[in-house]
Amino acid sequence: MSDTPTPQNTNSAIQFDELPDAPPKRKIKLSLLGKIGVVVLIFWAIVVAIGPMIAPYHEADILDEELFIVPGSDEMYPDTDFQPPSKIVLLGSDYLGRDTLSRILFGARTTIGISFIATTLAYLLGVLLGIAAAVGSKRLDMILSRLNDALLSIPSIMFALVMIAALGSTIPLLILLTGIIYATSVFRIARSLGQEVMVSDFVEAARVRGEGLWWIITREILPNIAMPLATDFGLRFVWVILFISALSFLGLGVQPPMSDWGSMVKENLPGLIYGSVAPIMPALAIATLTISVNMIVDDISAHTGGKLAKRMIA
């Protein structure tokens, strides 16, 4: 077999150029589930933007009994609470006879808005301190990390309950509390991502060049950890929604008459006995939003090789 003929030796004129290292990275391709997630997310974004404008009633409106009078019947005072879905109230009415659909449309702004601001706050705090711990001295890292561990060790709902009980439930306090509680886990992720990039050769190259810390953080580190952080933002946002809904469910979150999905579930819980859909609908709203964000995050982290998912458990 030693004399296997050499294949086409004719094109000796071809240039032996340096071959490319590897085919360029693939772009993120969303799966079907991911695409559905994006559609649902866009839907809720639109609701946040124009919800109160398209809502048939105001969130605090207790519907007039006259609306429910069936033409031809002689009933003067019909029940307005826990009405089943009809032309008048598309998703039924709640325990006070308010329109569930309108309250969900209004509540989207409160729930999503508060959660979004709180998550952003958590990110500002967590990333700032996390990167500081990653690039700073060992001592600073030690102090910040132990403080963070201490905060993490307090059960978050308990912590929030105590603080709200002491200071009263206002929306700014709610945002601040949630922001601080979730900043602890963001801190950990930002710190570990930052540490990884900090020891890379290109950061060392910047240090040898004499670059300042601020330049290294903003130009070398942040662009390289932005992607995993953005993905984590999605997940964290979901948890914040659930957390705020849980607080509202306990009556410590958003206060009436403002509507909020979590408190809507709680208020209308007795309606389950009458087969009312009033507690189901806001729960569905929470579920669709959180699951859709999750599906998108799953797609992205599958693309990055699942490395991300492991870190987020921390």
Cβ proximity to another protein: between 87 and 209 the closer is: 209
Residue at token pair 């559609």:
39
For the CB of residue 192, give the shortest distance to another protein in the complex, in Å. 18
Q: Which of 55, 84, 56 is nearest to 68 (CA)?
A: 84
How many other C-beta atoms are found inside a 10 Å radius of the C-beta of residue 227? 15
∠ CA(222), CA(224), CA(227), 5° rounding?
Answer: 95
Q: Answer yes or no whether residue 220 interacts with another protein by CB under 8 A.
A: yes
* Closest separation in Å from C-beta 196 to another protein: 12
Question: Rule CB under 8 A: is residue 208 a binding residue for another protein?
Answer: yes
10 binds another protein (CB under 8 A): no
Query: How many CB atoms are located within 10 Å of the residue 195 CB?
Result: 16
Smallest distance from another protein to CB 17, Å: 9
Q: How far is the CB of 264 from another protein (least distance, A)?
A: 43
Q: Could you give the 3-state DSSP secondary structure of residue 83? A: coil
CB of 120 vs another protein, minimal distance in Å: 22
Neighbours of 190 (CB within 10 A): 28
Residue 39 CA to residue 295 CA, distance in Å, equals: 11
| Candidate segments 88-96, 104-112, 196-204, 274-282, binder of another protein by CB under 8 A | 196-204
Among 87, 138, 139, 209, binds another protein (CB under 8 A): 209
Pair of tokens at residue 145: 């990390």
220 or 298, CB closer to another protein?
220
Interatomic CA distance for residues 134 and 128, integer angstroms: 10
Q: Based on CB atoms, which residue is closest to another protein, 177 or 216?
A: 216
Copy the structure tokens of residue 252: 């410590």
d(CA 162, CA 173) in angstroms, rounded, equals 12
Window 16 to 35, contacts with another protein (CB under 8 A): 16, 18-21, 23-27, 29
Which residues of this protein are in contact with another protein, per CB under 8 A?
Answer: 1-9, 12, 16, 18-21, 23-27, 29, 200-202, 204-205, 207-211, 219-220, 223-224
